[in-house]
């Protein structure tokens, strides 16, 4: 994989790369003229085995806006459906494409199999464990709102899912940030992610904490962030999981515990589940700006992956 810049996990990016991707995303957001033909002549594969509105469109539109061509594959299009291995698929596509954006919702190991070739950068458009491109868009949103990511205070409420994992691994890399992760019992971050985020926070002089107890959750925050309770392509073993999640809905009362906080959501939203209609549509909500920033972060990621490749 020498010479190939894959984006499989935020944790594989250096600080310089992570900070640079966030800044470049912001440049695309505030100066649309940056969308010039920097990827002219390149061909990007867009392979989504799972549903997507934002990520698929963001990478397709970003590639086109940067002058690249795209080849799109849906769930039933490739010979993987007849038994060709992921590794062979990656090897073959690497002979024809310049980059591959892929969502299988499988484990990170599957993405590593696509990346087990030396020609074509592979971008994880959401694995079972992590949604790294979401984190770049989220931090670009924070940066646009506050003027910087350093010092940002975020309260995440909901399942410790792949978006939460990426957020925890990314935000804690910035200086003096504060991340409180509030999850229903049994649905927290994986322990290894908690340990990694705590270590990053120690190194950057930031704070990282987790709790299951909503009662004391209030105070100072710049952002309250939630995600859907049913992450795309997943299901929960406990048939009564909704009862466990019910108190964690971000409604006006819960949001008001953090005076002045903006509301973030990676979308799609399920109004009346993880967020009330009033909060999602309210003046504090920046969820749709956050969605737009997926386009700008996709442009930054594609440029970075293809730079010098
Ligand atoms: N946030 C996000 O990943 O949205 P899509 O599933 O629509 O891509």
- The preferred substitution site among 72, 104, 126 for testing ligand 1, maximizing ligand atoms within 8 Å of CB, is 126
Answer yes or no: do 45 and 64 share one domain: yes
Section 169-193 average pLDDT: 98
CB 244 within 8 A of CB 184: yes
**How much is the mean pLDDT over the chain?**
96
User: How much is the pLDDT for 2?
Assistant: 52
Expressed in angstroms and rounded, the spacing between residue 251 Cα and the centre of ligand 1 is 22
Section 269-294 average pLDDT: 98
User: How much is the pLDDT for 105?
Assistant: 83
- The preferred substitution site among 48, 49, 55, 291 for testing ligand 1, maximizing ligand atoms within 8 Å of CB, is 55
Expressed in angstroms and rounded, the spacing between residue 267 Cα and the centre of ligand 1 is 6
CB 255 within 8 A of CB 263: yes
Which of 124-138, 142-156, 203-217, 227-241 is the least confident region?
A: 227-241
Q: Give the atom of ligand 1 at the shortest distance from the alpha carbon of 51.
A: 6
Q: Give the atom of ligand 1 at the shortest distance from the alpha carbon of 266.
A: 1
Which of 68-77, 104-113, 196-205 is the least confident region?
A: 104-113
- The preferred substitution site among 137, 158, 294 for testing ligand 1, maximizing ligand atoms within 8 Å of CB, is 294
Answer yes or no: do 240 and 154 share one domain: yes
Expressed in angstroms and rounded, the spacing between residue 54 Cα and the centre of ligand 1 is 5
Expressed in angstroms and rounded, the spacing between residue 45 Cα and the centre of ligand 1 is 18
Tokens found for residue 229: 């309770």
Section 54-58 average pLDDT: 98
Among left, alpha and beta (phi > 0; psi -120 to 50; other), residue 126 is left
Answer yes or no: do 113 and 157 share one domain: no
Full domain range(s) for residue 166:
134-291
In a domain, 3, yes or no: no
Tokens found for residue 227: 């995600």
Section 262-290 average pLDDT: 98
User: How much is the pLDDT for 3?
Assistant: 67
- Write out residues with Cβ below 6 Å of ligand 1: 52-55, 126, 134, 232, 266-268
Section 58-66 average pLDDT: 98
Closest CA to 65 of 298, 272, 248, 307: 298
In a domain, 1, yes or no: no
Answer yes or no: do 142 and 266 share one domain: yes
Query: Based on C-alpha coordinates, what's the Rg of the chain?
Result: 19
Q: How confident is the model at residue 231 (pLDDT cuts 50, 70, 90)?
A: confident
Spatial distance between the Cα atoms of 258 and 81, rounded to a whole number of angstroms: 48
Answer yes or no: do 171 and 52 share one domain: no
User: How much is the pLDDT for 218?
Assistant: 95
In a domain, 225, yes or no: yes
Residue-wise pLDDT tens digits, 9-52: 999 999 999 999 999 999 999 999 989 999 999 999 999 999 99
Encode 110-128: b = buried (16+ Cβ within 10 Å), e = exposed: bbbbbbebebbbbbbbbbb
Answer yes or no: do 221 and 99 share one domain: no
Section 123-152 average pLDDT: 98
Residue 236 has pLDDT above 50, yes or no: yes
Answer yes or no: do 191 and 112 share one domain: no
- Find the CATH number of the domain harbouring 138: 3.40.50.1370
Expressed in angstroms and rounded, the spacing between residue 52 Cα and the centre of ligand 1 is 5
Answer yes or no: do 256 and 140 share one domain: yes
Answer yes or no: do 150 and 259 share one domain: yes
On the 0-12 / 13-18 / 19+ scale of CB atoms within 10 A, 236 is middle
Residue nearest to atom 3 of ligand 1 (CA): 55
Answer yes or no: do 158 and 57 share one domain: no
Q: How confident is the model at residue 1 (pLDDT cuts 50, 70, 90)?
A: very low
Residue 59 has pLDDT above 50, yes or no: yes
> How many domains would you assign to the chain?
2
User: How much is the pLDDT for 309?
Assistant: 79
Entry pTM: 0.97
In a domain, 38, yes or no: yes
User: How much is the pLDDT for 9?
Assistant: 97
Spatial distance between the Cα atoms of 248 and 286, rounded to a whole number of angstroms: 19
Expressed in angstroms and rounded, the spacing between residue 289 Cα and the centre of ligand 1 is 14
Residue nearest to atom 6 of ligand 1 (CA): 52
Residue 144 has pLDDT above 50, yes or no: yes
Answer yes or no: do 158 and 124 share one domain: no
Expressed in angstroms and rounded, the spacing between residue 265 Cα and the centre of ligand 1 is 11
Answer yes or no: do 14 and 145 share one domain: no
In a domain, 2, yes or no: no
- The preferred substitution site among 54, 60, 294 for testing ligand 1, maximizing ligand atoms within 8 Å of CB, is 54
């Amino acid at each position: 994989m020498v010479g190939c810049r894959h984006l499989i996990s935020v944790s594989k990016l250096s600080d310089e790369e992570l900070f640079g991707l966030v800044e470049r995303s912001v440049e695309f957001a505030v100066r649309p003229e940056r969308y010039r033909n920097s990827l002219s002549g390149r061909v990007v594969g867009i392979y989504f085995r799972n549903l997507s509105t934002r990520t698929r469109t963001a990478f397709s539109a970003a590639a086109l806006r940067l002058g690249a061509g795209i080849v799109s594959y849906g769930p039933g299009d490739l010979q993987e459906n007849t038994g060709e291995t992921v590794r062979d698929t990656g090897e073959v596509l690497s002979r024809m494409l310049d980059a591959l954006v892929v969502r299988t919702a499988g484990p990170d190991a599957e993405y590593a199999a696509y990346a087990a070739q030396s020609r074509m950068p592979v971008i994880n458009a959401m694995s079972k464990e992590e949604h790294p491109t979401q984190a770049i868009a989220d931090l670009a949103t924070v940066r646009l709102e506050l003027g910087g990511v350093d010092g940002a205070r975020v309260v995440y409420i909901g399942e410790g899912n792949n978006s939460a994992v990426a957020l925890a691994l990314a935000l804690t890399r910035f200086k003096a940030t504060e991340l409180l992760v509030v999850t229903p019992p049994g649905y927290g971050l994986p322990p290894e992610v908690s340990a990694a985020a705590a270590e990053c926070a120690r190194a950057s002089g930031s704070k990282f904490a987790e709790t299951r107890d909503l009662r004391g959750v209030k105070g100072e925050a710049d952002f309250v962030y939630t995600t859907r309770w049913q992450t795309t392509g997943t299901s929960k073993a406990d048939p009564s999981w909704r009862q466990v999640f019910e108190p964690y809905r971000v409604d006006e009362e819960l949001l008001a515990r953090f005076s002045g906080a903006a509301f973030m959501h990676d979308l799609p939203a399920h109004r009346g589940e993880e967020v009330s209609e009033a909060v999602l549509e309210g003046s504090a909500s920046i969820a749709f700006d956050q969605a737009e920033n997926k386009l700008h972060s996709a442009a930054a990621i594609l440029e970075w992956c293809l730079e010098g490749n």
